[in-house]
Structure formats: structure tokens, C-alpha cells
């Protein structure tokens, strides 16, 4: 795996993200978001989140995430307008398993080697202050992924204070 700068997520942003995904999923459907930001001297820093269904109102209509071309068009326009890039994506799973499903593995939200995908358990019913129960997956290309636990030294994402 190529070296990657660490994605830093402010704790308050993570808190808001988990609460928002939990609310949107209503305990019965998957939800998700993109983490947008910029590179800093300390690595990549998340500056904002944008939920899938804000970009594509039909993304969550079947209970599982199904993101469409119109959502990607809106996402790339937003990134361009604000000078940001997609640092990672996150979505929820119904149970406690945060491994990738076969659909997740075969259809990355951003199919670029090095892209980080996060999975939250139980429709977002997880800690708002920790990554301990989160699945952390890095796309390697050609349906290959590397997965990490939150405290692994090479995990590509960390919570930070600001």
C-alpha cells in the first residue's frame, strides 16, 4: 500500500456526523456521507460533511445506499466551488459487522486507489467520540482493499481536537 497522509477529523465534526447518520437512518435504513476537506501540514483535515441524500435525494430510498450520477455531479461541483476534495466516505450497516459487503468491495464510492471508506455499525448507533467500532477500509484498486482497526499505527484516519 502506498504511503498516505493521515485524515484528521475534528472530534466535534465526528460527533455531528454520527448523530446525523443515526438520525437519517432512523434505526431502520442505511445512511452515509462524504467527508470533505483540504491538505494541511499535519495531513488531510476534514472541514465539512455532506450526506448522500443531500446530494442525491433518492440515495437512501431503498433502505440501502444507492448513489446516482446526479449525486456525483453535485458532489464534484461542491468540491470545485469550495476548493475541497473528498477525503473519505462513511456509511452505516444494519448489524454490528463493519466489514465490507460484497457490494461495498465491488463498488467503492470513489474508485481511486487510496480512497478511505468507513463503516459504522447498527445504523450509526455507535460512539460519537471514538473510532473503536468503525470499519476502516482503504481501496487498493481492482476490488482490493486493506482494512484497519482504529488504533493500528497505519490506520489512515484519526480524531483530533480541532
pTM: 0.94
Per CATH, is 7-160 categorized as 3.50.50.60?
A: no
pLDDT in single tens digits along all 162 residues of the chain: 445 579 999 999 999 999 999 999 999 999 999 999 998 777 899 999 999 999 999 998 887 889 999 999 999 999 999 999 999 999 999 999 999 999 999 999 999 999 999 999 999 999 999 999 999 999 999 999 999 999 999 999 999 998
Here the cell at position 83 is 476548493
Residue 88 · residue 157 · CB < 8 Å: yes
Tabulate helix, strand, coil % of the chain (nearest 5): 25, 30, 45
Select from 154, 136, 60 the least CA-distant residue to 100: 136
Where does 26-68 have alpha helices with state H? Answer: 52-55
| Cβ neighbours of residue 99 closer than 8 Å, sequence gap 6 or more | 119, 135, 147
Amino acid at each position: 500500500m502506498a504511503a498516505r497522509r493521515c485524515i484528521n477529523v475534528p472530534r466535534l465534526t465526528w460527533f455531528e456526523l454520527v448523530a446525523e447518520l443515526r438520525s437519517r437512518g432512523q434505526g431502520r435504513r442505511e445512511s452515509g456521507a462524504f467527508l470533505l476537506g483540504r491538505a494541511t501540514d499535519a495531513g488531510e483535515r476534514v472541514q465539512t460533511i455532506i450526506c448522500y441524500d443531500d446530494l442525491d435525494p433518492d440515495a437512501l430510498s431503498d433502505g440501502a445506499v444507492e448513489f446516482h450520477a446526479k449525486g456525483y455531479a453535485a458532489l464534484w461541483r461542491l468540491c470545485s466551488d469550495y476548493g475541497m476534495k473528498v477525503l473519505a466516505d462513511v456509511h452505516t450497516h444494519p448489524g454490528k459487522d463493519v466489514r465490507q459487503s460484497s457490494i461495498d468491495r465491488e463498488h467503492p464510492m470513489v474508485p481511486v486507489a487510496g480512497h478511505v471508506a468507513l463503516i459504522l455499525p447498527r445504523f450509526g448507533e455507535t460512539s460519537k467520540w471514538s473510532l473503536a467500532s468503525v470499519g476502516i477500509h482503504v481501496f487498493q484498486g481492482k476490488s482490493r482493499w486493506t482494512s484497519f482497526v482504529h488504533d493500528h499505527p497505519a490506520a489512515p484516519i484519526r480524531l483530533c481536537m480541532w
